[in-house]
Structure formats: C-alpha cells, structure tokens
Amino acid sequence: MMADTPIPTTKEAGLLGCRYCTRVWPSGTKTCGCCGSKLVSRDLQSLQKVWAWWLVALICYVPANLYPMLRTSTLGSVSQDTIVGGAITLAEHGSYFVAGVILLASVVIPILKFLAIAYLAISVARPSTAREGTRHMLFELVEYIGRWSMIDVFVVAILSSLVHLGNFASVEPGPASLTFALTVVFTMISAQSFDSRLIWDQQEFEKDTDRAH
Amino acid sequence: MPTDPPELKTLSARRPLYQRISLVWLVPLAAVVIAVALAAQNWAARGPLIELLFDEATGITEGSTELRYRDVTVGHVEAVEFEPGLERVVVKVRLNQDIADYVDRDAVFWVVKPEVTTTGVSGLNTVLSGVYIAGVWDADPGGVVLRHEGQTKAPLLPAGDSGLLLTLEAAAGVALTANAPITYKGLEVGRVGTPELSADRQSAIAPAVIFAPYDQLVRSTTRFWDTSGFSFSLGASGAELDFSSLSSLIAGGVSFDTVISGGTPVSDDAPFQVFASQSDARQNVFDAGRGNGVPFSIIFEDNVSGLEVDAPVEVRGLKIGVVTGITGIVDEARFNDSKVRLQISVELNPAELRLASPNAADQAVEEFMAKRVQSGLRARLVSTGLFATGLKVELIDVADAPEAELVRDHDPYPLIPVTESVISDAGASAEGMLSRLGELPIEELMQSAVRFLDTATGLAANTTMLVQDDTVRAIPADVRALLGDVRGVVGSAEIQGLPGQTAQLLTDLNSTVTDLRDLIAQVEEARAIEKLVQTVEAAGDVAASAEASLAGMPGLIESLTETAETARALPLDKLVARVSDVVADVETLLEQPGTRAIPQTLNDTLNEMRLALSELREGGTVAALNDTMASARSAATAIEEATVDLPQISARIDALLKQAAATLAGYDQGSEINRTARSAMTALTRAAAAVESLARALERRPNSLILGR
C-alpha cells in the first residue's frame, strides 16, 4: 500500500521524538531536555507491557463480573447485584435505557477495549492488512473511551456516600466495584503502554518489502 | 554518480533474557498469585454443607436466607431442593467453619417467621427481612452431622438452657393449648408445647417446660390444673363470674401447685395430669391418677337407681376406686332367664390399696382380689348417706358367704361376686316419725293452758276486789308493827347524832310515807285509824326533834299529818278482810290440781317431745329429707300455730303474777300464806319462763324439734 504524500518519520530523519512532550531531539539523546523523560526511538518492550497490563486487567475483570457490584439494604432486606444481574433487574422493571447504558459502559466497552488492544498488539507483531490510519483511529478511540468505563465506579461511589440512612436504606460498594475499577485502570495503562510508533515501523517494513520486489 | 552510502550495518545484539523481558510481567504474576491465594483461602474457610429437611420451605430463598444461632448469622442457604419422592424439602446450608463442629446430633433447626397467636406476636423482624432458619445446639463440639430433621417450631427447652421438661396429660374437659403459659401463683414460669394424641388415643398429651429456677417447684406431689376459660355460677350469694386473667381466658393456661409438702423431685419427661379446676386437682392429690386403675366388673341382680358413674368404691369407708361405667346386661346362657341385670365397671386404684408401688402390675392387683374373694370379699350397693339418695359400691368381707371365685375370664373385666345390698329405707321411717309428731296434741295442750290462765287472771281480779273487803283484819296490826319499826329507826341514836344522815333518812321516810299514803288510800275505811294517827303523831314528834337541824321538816310533817288524817277515813278493816280472802283463794287456787298440773303438763309435753326426738334419732329419720320434708313442714306449721299462743300465755301469766304481787305486797313477809303464795308464784314464773323459751326456740328454729337440737 502506498501513501500519496509520504510523511517522513523522525527515525527516517535521524531524529528522536519525545512521546510525552512531542519535542524532537537529535538521534542519540538519552533524555528529553524539555520534560526529562527517557528518549527511545522505539520502545522494544512496549508490546510486553501491553500484554502484561492487559492480562492483569483481564484477571480483574473476572471477579468484577462474578461478585456483586452493589449491596443495597432496605429495612433489613439486603439485595446484592452483579453488573449484568443489575442490568437485567433494571430491564425487568422497564428501565431499558438505563439498563442499556450500564450494559454499554460496563460490559460492551470494556470487552471491546480488550479486543481492540489485543488486536493492535497482534497487528504490529504480525503482518497485517489493516490500514495505518484505521489502526491509529482505533488506538485513539481506545484511549479516549477507556476513561468512560469508570462511570460505573463513580455511580457506586456516589450512591454509597449519599445513601446512608442507617437501617432504613444503605448502599455499600461490593467487591466487584473495586475489581472493576482496577480493570478500567489496567486497561488504560495497557493502552498507554502501546507504542503507536510501532504501527509506522510495520508500514516501513511493508514498504521495504514492496521496494525489494 | 554518487556512490551509495555504505550499507549501515545494524547488528541486532543478542541481549540477555532478563533485559529482553520487561519487569512489568511481575504485575500479572502478582495478580494471579493474589487471586489464587484468595481463592485458596476462601476454599479453606468454607464450612461444610449441611442438609436440613423441612415439610415446606416457606420464605426460604437460595443465597440470602441465613442460618442464625443466638441471632448471629452462622451460615447461608445455598440451595433448596426436593427429596427424592418430593415428600419433603431439602435446604442446603453452608455452615461457617468455626461453628461447624458444634452442629452435632442434638442440633435443632426451625424456621422463624412472623406469627400472630393468641399469646402474642413473634418473629416480627422477619416481616421485612424475610424468614431465617434458627438453630440451637449445645456448647460441646461433637463433630458436624450433615443431615438434620427440621422442626416446625422452636424447641420448648433449647439445648444449653436449663429447665424441666414434663409431659402433661389432659383430663376430661381440659383443652391444652399450644404455647399456653404455665403460671405459678400468677408468675409465668413455663410453657406448654404442641398437644398431640397419646399413644392409646385416650387423651391429649403435650410436652411442657418449667424454666429454671422454677423447676425446683415441681415435685411428685405437684398437681396441674387448667386456668383457661371462665366459670359462671348463680347461687344464693348472687351471680359469680370467675376467670383468672384475660390473657388466660383467651390463650388458655395451666397453673400448678404442690398441694401437700414432701414428694420427690421429678425427672425429665415425668407425666402429670392437668385437671379441670384447682379444686379437682386438690381433691385428686392422693390419687395416683386415672388410667392407673385396674378395671373390674360387678353384676347386680337388680337395676338400682341412684348409682352413677364416678360413684366411689369403698372398703370400710376408704375410697379405693371409682365406678367407671354402668350398663345393663341380659345373658340368658348364664343366668337362665332374660332379666336385665346391672353390670358396672369399676377401677380400683392400686395406690389406694397400698398393695405395692403405685404402678403395681394389673396382674398383682388381680391376684390380690382373687385371694380376697376366696376369703369372702364381696361387692354390694350401699346408700351413700342418710340424706343423699345416691348409692356407692362397697367391698365387704362376708364371713359366711357362699363359695365364689373371681371370674377372671369375664368380659370385659374380671367379675367380683356380690352379696345382698344394703339400701336403707330411711325415708319411710322418717316420714312416719314426723307424722306422729304432727299428731301430737300440742294445740289442745296450749288451748287448755290458755283457758287455765284466763281463769287464773279472773281469780286475780277477784283477789284485788277482796282486798277492799271488811274482813281484812290482820293489816292494822301489821301496819302498827311497821310504824313501830319506823319509829324505832327514826328514834335511833344514829339519826339524832348524825344530822348528815338525816337527810337520807328523811328521803327514805318520805318514800315510806308515800307508800303509806297509797296503802292508806286503800284502807280508808279501816277502823284502826286512831292508832295510825298516834303513830303518825309519834312520827311527827320525831320529825319535830329533827326540825332543829333541818329547815324543810315542817312541810314534811304537815304532809304527814295530812296523810294521817286521810288515813283516818280509811275503811281499813274491810281491806284487811279482803286481803285475807284473797290469800285464802290463792291458796285454794294453788291447791287445785289444775294449777299443780301446769308444770307437770309442760314437763310431760317436753318429755314427749324429747321422746319423739330420741325416736327420730334412733330411727335415723334425719335421712332422706327430700321425701319427708313435706310432712315435717306441716308438723312444724302446726307447732308454729300452737306457739303463737305461747307468748299470750306467758303474757297472761305475767299479768297474773303482777296482780298477785301487787296484792301480796301489803302482806307481812313472814306470813305463811305469803310464803305459800310466793313459792307458787315462783313455780308459775318458772313454768312461764319455760313455756316462753320453748316458744322462742320453736319460733327461731322449727326444725330443732325434728333434729333434736
């Protein structure tokens, strides 16, 4: 695949870009003189980090779905609901919109995030047919949307701090709320660990292959 | 042509493994380790899964229903399933590990749910939170037992609590209520469990518990009774509504008391009977209780009315059993006729027989009876008392009884032979006695007494007239003697020497003179006036001598003089003669056989009565009052009518006596006539008093004539 107006990378220009403050330094500079972060042309361990954090997030995601998210006690009767169970209960009571939002934010998006990160990590390691721009879009989307998964955790936090009416009614966070928050945090770290420049390198590799032919 | 720059040799240096592998892999490793550790810990802390069998799983939900011990959650229901056959529900409960060892064989489980009963509301907290399963077990770890039968109710005495478990048996007419309180002197000390039929289906039994420390109150001599319901009685003292408390009226209740001291402490599950009332319980305190009795049959030749179920069976007055049933029996095969005979069933109480232990075997009692029957023991019917018409069964040793055996194979119970019944005919004899009493001529007696007294009164009237007769002669001399006495007194040195006593003397004198004036008024026409005047003048001299000391004397003397002058005009001799006549008449009156006979007649009357009463007593007439009351009443009425005259009699006697006394007042105390009259009068007075007291007694208690008291 050929780009119409090929944009030179810093690597091709013999330069080195900072991943955090985006300042460009001559090749061979070890630390960014602007923000002090370590400068590497390509983070060779990036994929390892992605996979490691991805795995931790997945481990946390299991109890997040098995354990109750909320403990609601009303006049002595305690009810506990998992994420999916709560959404189903809401749907049974007719609140399809709220149930949909919860399902989207707490189930669909995290799963898609897992899939997206895994896809990106695989695609840079193996030959891929996907377009460079599409993958960048996907990466940006994952980065952007990841934080919204925390909405569930926020709802639990706000409810449990607001509803404290003693024996009449009280809401406490269940064990799943903690692990779910951890899942979100770990997926975000996993996404951040991904060195998007690797996408370009694969592009070059393909270009080289094309040139060779 | 520029030469290509030399190919940049990029050697991929083979770096060691630790440099190629990022340290970040430690994070998932740690996560895995933590997860595994948590899982392992959870698994290790998981208690055993026990199965509880219930008839139904009302309100039990999987996952959320708790198992509680002393209201602390020690487990959760994990599953609710059916037993194979769908007979019962199996509730699987995950126990906490720390408590599991205590859930051994004696653990008891039940479902706590809200309940509203007559004794109160319980399990209210489960209305909102849902039911829970409660369990109790003792504090000794005995190893977990995985399968338990669930109870429908909380145990009466939870394991670990101290108290006394009893078995209560309801007597006839007693309804035991589940959960009813057991009270002791108004204090709630225990509870009745759920009643059920006894094994022989003869009565209802219920477990009951007396909590510590009150369990010490229950002894072997303790009796329980039912306090529920109310009693209403309408009697002479008015209507009476009685119930112990409103709550026991609604919810029922059992109370107990140890009626006689002593007794031994009872063991767990000791049986006790619940009586219908406290009085029943007290009455039964010496009984070992019904059901322990040994049944026998007795066949009497005739049907005799008056024998009832529960009539006593006695030996020489000691109650040893009760009649439990009365039926007629026709047995042509045995008796060779078709007569209806009276077959009664009795229960003899071995405890009362003092045979052996109260629980002596039926066989032993039977043996004993067989032996006694051989030596002459027979049954007979006997009247229960003199008044009652009821009958009882008596076992008596008949010395010369014809040979008989205890018929052991008799249906339904062994047959005790009988002897002749003794049913007293007390009613008839009592009636005869009372009619004889009614025929006594009491009225005639009274009438004649009244007649006699009438004549006596007339006589007395004559006597007063006679006093005014000329022939009364003895009086002036007596009067003179009297005045001489007066003079003697007046002239005594004491009076002259003691002016202080003079006033007293004068007062006495005054009254004497007043009396004299009365007398003199009566003897106006007497001839001995002159002597009287002399006497009075002498008295005037005495008075004159007293004048020196007292100022009021002249008036007195004047009145005395006046009196004397009035006396002069009196026809005293006539009076004296009349008095004489009266005395003579009275004497003749007293010598009349009629007068003499009065006390005698009364005496005879009383004697007759006494005789009648003793007859009554001998004949046992006091019995069967219901039959004889009518005639007794008629007799009493006759007596009452007769006694109406009695006060009249006594009044007349009184009047007569007064008149006689007035007449005789003028006589000298020492006179012979007077003495005779006086003694006659005394006799009369006594007779009158006797009649009066008899009249009063009869008025007060007419039946005393019958009862002899």
Amino acid B155: pLDDT: 80
Tokens of B685: 């007075």
Q: Which of B20, B32, B64 faces A78 most closely, judged by CB atoms?
A: B64
Which residue in B654, B190, B615, B639 sits closest to B441, CA to CA?
B639
Nearest CA in chain B to A183: B31
B1 part of contact set with chain A, CB < 8 Å: no
DSSP A7-74: PPPTTTTTEEE-TTT--EEETT--B-TTT--B--SS-TTHHHHHHHHHHHHHHHHHHHHHS-SEEEEE
Candidates B7, B20, B25, B68, partner chain A, best to mutate (most A CBs within 10 A): B25
Residues 6+ apart with CB under 8 A from A117: A50, A54, A142, A187, A190, A191, A194
Give the pLDDT confidence of B196-219 residue by residue, as tens digits.
887 777 778 888 888 888 888 888
A77/B24 Cβ within 8 A: no
Domain A43-212: give its CATH architecture: Up-down Bundle (1.20)
| Residue of B679 and B575 predicted with greater confidence | B679
Give the pLDDT confidence of B641-684 residue by residue, as tens digits.
655 666 666 676 667 667 666 665 555 445 555 566 667 667 77
Give B17's contacts in chain A (Cβ within 8 Å).
none
| Coarse DSSP helix, strand, coil percentages of chain B, rounded to the nearest 5 percent | 45, 25, 35
B31 part of contact set with chain A, CB < 8 Å: yes
Tokens of B27: 């994070």
B35/A63 Cβ within 8 A: yes
CB hemisphere CA count around B246 (13 angstroms) = 0
Amino acid A115: pLDDT: 92
Give A52's contacts in chain B (Cβ within 8 Å).
22, 24-25, 27-28
Nearest CA in chain B to A60: B31
First to last CA, chain B: 173
> Which helix (H) or strand (E) element contains residue B547?
helix B529-547
- Is a pLDDT exceeding 50 seen at residue A114? yes
B2 part of contact set with chain A, CB < 8 Å: no
Return the domain boundaries, chain A: 1-41, 43-212
Amino acid B568: pLDDT: 55
Biggest distance spanned by C-alpha atoms of chain A: 77
Give A49's contacts in chain B (Cβ within 8 Å).
22, 24
A130 part of contact set with chain B, CB < 8 Å: no
> Which helix (H) or strand (E) element contains residue B589?
helix B572-591
Tokens of B684: 């009369």
Which residue in B49, B102, B103 sits closest to B76, CA to CA?
B49
Give the pLDDT confidence of B354-409 residue by residue, as tens digits.
555 555 567 777 888 888 888 888 888 887 765 556 788 888 888 777 777 788 77
Amino acid B100: pLDDT: 86
Asked if A139 and A184 touch (Cβ cutoff 8 Å), the reply is no
Give A75's contacts in chain B (Cβ within 8 Å).
128-129
B24/A49 Cβ within 8 A: yes
In angstroms, what separates the C-alpha of A75 from chain B's closest C-alpha? Answer: 6
Listed in order, the ranges of chain B carrying CATH 1.20.58 are 428-458+583-707
B22 part of contact set with chain A, CB < 8 Å: yes
CA pair distance B406, B413, nearest whole angstrom: 10
Hey, what long-range contacts does A39-46 have (CB within 8 A, 24 or more apart)? Answer: A40/A16, A41/A10, A41/A11, A41/A16, A42/A11, A42/A195, A42/A197, A42/A198, A42/A201, A43/A195, A44/B20, A45/B20, A45/B22, A45/B24, A46/A193, A46/A194, A46/A195, A46/A198
- Is a pLDDT exceeding 50 seen at residue B553? no
DSSP B73-118: EEEEEEEEEE-TTSSSEEEEEEEEHHHHTT--TT-EEEEE--EEET
Q: Which of B77-91, B132-146, B347-361 has the lowest average pLDDT?
A: B347-361
Q: Which of A53, A62, A79 faces B27 most closely, judged by CB atoms?
A: A53
B128/A48 Cβ within 8 A: no
Asked if B450 and B648 touch (Cβ cutoff 8 Å), the reply is yes
Q: What is the mean pLDDT of residues B548-575?
A: 54
B190 beta partners: B182, B210
CA pair distance B562, A62, nearest whole angstrom: 152
Q: Which of B22, B31, B128 faces A60 most closely, judged by CB atoms?
A: B31
B124 part of contact set with chain A, CB < 8 Å: no
A52/B27 Cβ within 8 A: yes
Alpha helices, DSSP H only, in B77-219?
A: 97-100, 126-129
If pLDDT is split at 50, 70 and 90, which confidence band does B8 have? low
A75/B128 Cβ within 8 A: yes
For the ranges A204-208, B239-243, B627-631, the maximum mean pLDDT occurs at B239-243
CA pair distance A81, B497, nearest whole angstrom: 135
SS3 state of residue B394:
strand
B585 beta partners: none
A77/B130 Cβ within 8 A: yes
Domain B428-458+583-707: give its CATH architecture: Up-down Bundle (1.20)
CB hemisphere CA count around B429 (13 angstroms) = 15
Amino acid B536: pLDDT: 57
Amino acid B425: pLDDT: 60
Give the pLDDT confidence of B140-151 residue by residue, as tens digits.
888 888 888 888
A56/B28 Cβ within 8 A: yes
Query: Which B positions 63-122 lie with beta carbon below 8 A of chain A?
Result: 64
